[in-house]
C-alpha cells in the first residue's frame, strides 16, 4: 500500500470508527448492553463502510476512465482538424 491508498483508506476508516463509537455511546446511554452487541455493531459498521466506500471508489474509477476516453477523442479530433487545415 502506497501513500495514495492511505489517503483513500484513512478518512474512510475514521468515518467508520466515529459511526461505531457513536453507536456504542448511544447504546450505553440508553441501556446496559452486552459487549458482544457492541462488537457486532462494530463489525456491521465496518462491513457497511467497506461496501459503501468500495462502491464509491468503483464509480469514481469508471468516471475517470470515461473522462480519459473523452479527452483522447477530443485530442484526436483536434489533430485531425489541424492536419486538414
- The whole model's pTM is what? 0.52
Predicted confidence (pLDDT) at residue 13 exceeds the cutoff of 60: yes
Neighbours of 9 (CB within 10 A): 12
Percent of the chain with pLDDT over 70: 88
Angle at 62 between CA 57 and CA 63, to 5 degrees: 95
Predicted confidence at residue 1, as pLDDT, reads 46
Predicted confidence at residue 84, as pLDDT, reads 67
Averaged pLDDT for residues 12-32: 79
Cα separation, 37 vs 42, whole angstroms:
9
Amino acid at each position: 500500500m502506497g501513500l495514495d491508498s492511505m489517503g483513500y483508506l484513512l478518512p474512510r476508516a475514521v468515518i467508520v470508527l466515529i459511526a461505531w463509537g457513536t453507536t456504542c455511546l448511544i447504546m450505553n446511554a440508553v441501556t446496559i448492553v452486552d459487549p458482544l452487541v457492541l462488537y457486532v455493531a462494530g463489525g456491521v459498521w465496518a462491513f457497511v463502510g467497506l461496501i459503501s466506500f468500495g462502491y464509491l471508489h468503483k464509480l469514481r474509477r469508471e468516471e475517470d476512465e470515461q473522462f480519459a476516453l473523452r479527452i483522447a477523442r477530443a485530442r484526436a479530433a483536434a489533430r485531425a482538424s489541424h492536419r486538414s487545415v
